[in-house]
Amino acid sequence: MARILGGITTSHIPSVGSAIANELFDDPYWKPFFDGYPKIHAWLDEHKPDLVINIYNDHGLGFFLDQMPTFAIGAAHECRNEDEGWGLPALDPFPGAPEVSWHIIESIVADEFDITSCQELAVDHGFVVPMQLFWPGAPANPDMPRAIPISANTVQHPIPTLKRALAFGRALRKALLSYPEDLKVVVLGTGGLSHQLDGERAGFINKEFDLYCLEHIVHDPDKLTEISRMELVEKAGAQGTEFLMWMMMRGALGGDVTEITRNYHIPISNTASGTLLLECAA
């Protein structure tokens, strides 16, 4: 059966993609951000997962406000990256795993989650930037695992509750563990932490709330389900709702996890950037 090795979180800001393209790894502005990744690279190099579940939110490339599924799962042979207007270079397609995708879709629907299944799905920076951060040179990195994109609605209200996001992750865990073939899997929770890009609170960052979430998601994620959707917007900002994707990732890891590394850095494009690597029990 498939084995879940662990979960990793990261911000997926478009300017990070630009910094990668321009090799600004040692730039004084960017270095504290990129310093959060070498330990993760070493861990991935040691464990070499076969499959990555990339939980992200689409920013208008695959879906838009007129058609925004709550949860969508890609089931294509490849994940295409297309130009989304940020000046980022479009990357070659990422290899998919449709047979695993359909297994996950069947299992999660049986657990009464309504899923949008996508046999074609263009992926934007929300998917691509984390792949570049964790597998430098992606998708050309020789250790690049096959990928399954899972898109969550963090934009068009009503968005999922944190409780629903955690439950989705637990259903995802059940689906993966029931897959009959041997696979080593890593799950990504992308986006966030606190940030607001528009309106009267543009530039809003809440470090105290971010650190609260970073602490509790490791050993007591259920505590975070007490935060309502409106409270999440209030405390994390309009775009800080992306934290629900971290909760989806955390649900997929099961109970006890070991924190391998953590990094928190602000400001990056008016976004509090958080990175965690959580390892599952053997």
Pairing mode, strands 116-118 and 183-190: unpaired
| 8 Å CB contact between 148 and 104 | yes
Q: Rounded to whole angstroms, how far apart are CA atoms 217 and 219?
A: 6
Catalytic one among 125, 157, 216, 219?
Answer: 125
Catalytic one among 12, 103, 195, 265?
Answer: 195
Q: Rounded to whole angstroms, how far apart are CA atoms 105 and 75?
A: 9
| 189-208 as b/e: b if 16+ CB within 10 A | bbbbbbbbeeeeeeebbbee
**Active site (annotated) includes residue 59:** no
**Active site (annotated) includes residue 195:** yes
| 8 Å CB contact between 16 and 270 | no
- Give the burial class of 186: count Cβ atoms within 10 A of its Cβ; 0-12 exposed, 13-18 middle, 19 or more buried: buried
Q: What angle do CA 92, 278, 20 make, to 5 degrees?
A: 35
**Which residues are marked as active site?**
125, 195
